[in-house]
Structure 1
Amino acid sequence: MSEQEGEAQSDRKKYEFQKIIEELQDYEGSGTQLVSIYVPEDKQISDVVAHVTQEHSEAANIKSKQTRTNVQDALTSIKDRLRYYKNPPENGMVLFSGAIDAGGGQTDMVTKVLEGPPQPVESFRYHCDSAFLTEPLEHMLADKGLYGLIVLDRREANVGWLRGKRVEPVKSASSLVPGKQRKGGQSAQRFARLRLEAIDNFYQEVAEMANELFVPERHEMDGVLVGGPSPTKDEFMDGEYLHHEVQDIVLGKFDVAYTDESGLYDLVDAGEEVLADAEIMEDKELMETFFKQLHNGNKATYGFEPTRQNLVMGSVETLLISEDLRDDVAVYDCGGTEEYEVVDHRKNTPTHQCEDGTEVEAEKREDVIEFLMNIADQRGTDTKFISTDFEKGEQLLNAFGGIAGILRYSTGV
């Protein structure tokens, strides 16, 4: 599989997970009866089954008969699903089950199994509440970007990763740099020289730590942040201790008071603006290209139908879809010719008036993003989801219906 195909599959999988998360967030239970279970890849299925069995037994003590029954039914449903697995899939799995409010005093039993989330499930977790636990999955989907983190002063240093929203401390070091006061009867000049040597040695040690961690991943990284008090971080960066390929991707230096593990979190907070800009830089560049072609190059399309037609012709190089788009497409059979209409996913499918004036019911209805992505996949077109966290990204959703394309060649459609 090519890198391009891998990215397309990853984007599709993230979108599918996002849809499921939004669906799960809409569900409510009348009591603490919605069960969520996060299973890491290295967890034995037999251990998960044993835990579910134990929870089923303990649920017998729930006072409310309805809640007791619903919880036990949810656990039984999860246990039945687990029979199909010898081992958890890669990155683990998440199971949701429970009786949801269907209105009119009625409930429906819902059970969903999500295999191989975008990031590994880090630990086993059992949760029973009136809502499904989706926050860990939301954080996984937000895990765009890989950044190196360095915090240091002349006493200690810590190095780690920022993966999306997760800070991962990895390495630390303590220095042997003496304080500013001269000790042991040494001359002031000798003491100052020894102190500078100790500082230089410590900076080299920190750089070696960082280089060992970052250099192997330098082509996957989106940048490096360096933090600490002045002048330490400035001395470190001005001295060019880091490997040149790591030094080249430093996004900035930031004032951070602490240089232990908590300093890594402070560094992320201090560099929030830089991180936000870096994360959506590709989106900004794509939208700049789109607007340039729209106004001057004639190699742009937007809106559902023109974009669909260009996709079918194979003329779309990059399909641009707003990450906040949530619509369906209804497909109508108009005398053997298919006609399409984008409809609100929350509303019933309307009847459609064909070009010849005939009114018809929808033949089928599906998610508009999946509909367009399927055509894009068949034609070798890249699909990119565009954030609405910047002006032109918001314009894509509000002014262009959330759908656009950069063309390989002008088609006039």
Structure 2
Amino acid sequence: MSQQESEQSDRKKYEFRKVIEDLKEYEGSGTQLVTIYIPDDKQISSVVAHVTQEHSEASNIKSKQTRTNVQDALSSIKSRLRYFDTFPPENGIVIFSGAVDSGGGQTDMITKVLESPPMEIESFRYHCDSEFLTEPLEDMLADKGLYGLIVLDRREANVGWLRGKRVEPVKSASSLVPGKQRKGGQSAQRFARLRLEAIDNFYQEVAGMANDLFVEKRHELDGILVGGPSPTKDEFLDGDYLHHELGDSVLGKFDVSYTDESGLYDLVDAAEEALADAEVMKDKNLMQDFFKELHAGDEATYGFDQTRQNLIMGSVETLLISEDLREDVVTYECPNGHEERTVIDRRKDTPNHTCSECGEEVPAEDGEREDAIDHLIDIAEQRGTETKFISTDFEKGEQLYDAFGGVAGLLRYSTGV
């Protein structure tokens, strides 16, 4: 995938994610919200026939209000389907329609059509409920890449997942392996034998945890990473304790000091080379470059205003945006021609504004509001700037959101801004 295609894909995913978040907020007073998933090999004419049949059957709904709302939603869907040719576009389409609660006992009829989702819709699905069906779309937007993680020494072990950019601890175990010192009156040989048996039993327990977790997903796994001190991890892998199909999926063994849950995160860091193509490492490398320039160089920018200014100048090489950023930018122009911007939470109402240049009041209704991310990406595209969305599922990704306002950039050259 080219850089341009990757950026378009990231932006499309963001736009879909934004629509899904809005859809999840809607509720119907009854089972009157209709969702239809249509694969790209499904003829539009057959979908229209299905919708027509559902419209007819909806006449049997006892509640007059629910009956009317469902039929209105189906009529709206049928109307939207006329805009498509024989088949849907690539990857299919999803249509959401229904009367949603707007407060005070009132409802609003909405219809949203999502064309060409990030992944192919596999089968036709009609769903009518008090909420829109968004889970299949959310699954499409989930981070890709699935790795099994194992960290162990002779005292404890932890097993979990690396899903895209997210480390998920799942299972842990503690061993009963005695220390190296002889106990009581046991002979040294007997003590050594019992200790080896305890180690073997613990390795079998760890392998059992891993097998239970990974075998079912073995065809989806991109690999397994094993970490711990030497010789523990070597003994574990050399002893063929893992299911034979999992053993073939081990990408490597890595030195890790801790074997509690934090060891899983250390393992991901230690396996950087093996995970070079994994999303989490791409994000981490970008944030490492950002912090390096922030502390030792001068080719980094952060915050909405500074980053926007650098974008307009064309000095931003890579725009970094937190995946958790949910803000709008409001542009105000006062009567004296001064233009200023305020960034606000997307869920809040537009505030009035006092011009910092002349003190004139600008009423909220005169503010031009738009999505802050769309605003920045539009400028980036005009300037040939690469845009990357950064996960908050690791420490420096969290810092981008919490400490730097969710917006930063790596510069082509120092600007002093």
Structure 1 length normalisation: TM-score? 0.71
- State the Cα distance separating 1:57 from its structure 2 match: 1.1
Q: Which residue of 1 aligns with 2:68?
A: 69
Cα deviations by residue, 1:303-340 (Å, 9 ceiling, x for unpaired): 11100100000111111111010010000114334211
Q: Which residue of 2 aligns with 1:347?
A: 348
Gaps of 5+ in 2: 149-161, 166-218, 227-235, 255-263, 270-274
Query: How many residues are paired up?
Result: 320
Kindly indicate whether the alpha-carbon contact (under 8 Å) linking 2:329 and 2:372 is maintained by their aligned counterparts in 1. yes
Kindly indicate whether the alpha-carbon contact (under 8 Å) linking 1:333 and 1:360 is maintained by their aligned counterparts in 2. yes
- State the Cα distance separating 1:363 from its structure 2 match: 3.7
Q: Which residue of 1 aligns with 2:295?
A: 295
Q: Which residue of 2 aligns with 1:311?
A: 311
Kindly indicate whether the alpha-carbon contact (under 8 Å) linking 2:164 and 2:279 is maintained by their aligned counterparts in 1. no
Q: Which residue of 2 aligns with 1:12?
A: 11
Q: 1:412 to 1:18 in 2, by over 3 A?
A: same
Q: Which residue of 2 aligns with 1:359?
A: 361
Kindly indicate whether the alpha-carbon contact (under 8 Å) linking 1:34 and 1:128 is maintained by their aligned counterparts in 2. yes
Q: Which residue of 1 aligns with 2:128?
A: 128
Q: 1:320 to 1:163 in 2, by over 3 A?
A: closer
Mapping of 1:248-327 within 5 angstroms? Answer: 250=251, 278-327=278-327
Cα deviations by residue, 1:274-316 (Å, 9 ceiling, x for unpaired): 7898441111111111111111111111111100100000111
- State the Cα distance separating 1:236 from its structure 2 match: 8.3
Cα deviations by residue, 1:115-159 (Å, 9 ceiling, x for unpaired): 0000000111111100000000000011423779xxxxxxxxxxx
Counterparts of 1:63 and 1:235 in 2: how far apart (Å)?
A: 58
Q: 1:236 to 1:9 in 2, by over 3 A?
A: closer
Letter in structure 2 aligned against 1:58: E
Q: 1:274 to 1:50 in 2, by over 3 A?
A: farther
Counterparts of 1:273 and 1:46 in 2: how far apart (Å)?
A: 54
Counterparts of 2:392 and 2:133 in 1: how far apart (Å)?
A: 25
Letter in structure 1 aligned against 2:251: V
Q: Which residue of 1 aligns with 2:29?
A: 30
- The percentage of counterpart residues that share the same residue type is 67
Mapping of 1:173-192 within 5 angstroms? Answer: none
Kindly indicate whether the alpha-carbon contact (under 8 Å) linking 1:290 and 1:405 is maintained by their aligned counterparts in 2. yes
Q: Which residue of 2 aligns with 1:389?
A: 393
Mapping of 1:127-166 within 5 angstroms? Answer: 127-145=127-145
Counterparts of 1:46 and 1:325 in 2: how far apart (Å)?
A: 40
3-state SS of paired residue (1:280): helix
Cα deviations by residue, 1:13-32 (Å, 9 ceiling, x for unpaired): 00000000000000000000
- State the Cα distance separating 1:250 from its structure 2 match: 2.7
Kindly indicate whether the alpha-carbon contact (under 8 Å) linking 1:223 and 1:251 is maintained by their aligned counterparts in 2. no
Kindly indicate whether the alpha-carbon contact (under 8 Å) linking 1:226 and 1:233 is maintained by their aligned counterparts in 2. no
- State the Cα distance separating 1:232 from its structure 2 match: 7.5
Letter in structure 1 aligned against 2:51: V
3-state SS of paired residue (2:67): helix
- State the Cα distance separating 1:64 from its structure 2 match: 0.7
Mapping of 1:231-246 within 5 angstroms? Answer: 231=240
Counterparts of 1:233 and 1:103 in 2: how far apart (Å)?
A: 57
Counterparts of 2:306 and 2:361 in 1: how far apart (Å)?
A: 23
Letter in structure 2 aligned against 1:63: K
Q: Which residue of 1 aligns with 2:377?
A: 373
Q: 1:237 to 1:223 in 2, by over 3 A?
A: closer
Counterparts of 1:122 and 1:322 in 2: how far apart (Å)?
A: 30
Gaps of 5+ in 1: 149-161, 166-213, 215-220, 254-270
Counterparts of 2:267 and 2:222 in 1: how far apart (Å)?
A: 10
Letter in structure 1 aligned against 2:349: N
Q: 1:7 to 1:349 in 2, by over 3 A?
A: same
Q: 1:41 to 1:232 in 2, by over 3 A?
A: farther
3-state SS of paired residue (2:50): helix
**Cα-Cα RMSD:** 3.2
Q: 1:252 to 1:26 in 2, by over 3 A?
A: farther
Structure 2 length normalisation: TM-score? 0.70
Counterparts of 2:38 and 2:8 in 1: how far apart (Å)?
A: 23
Q: Which residue of 1 aligns with 2:119?
A: 119
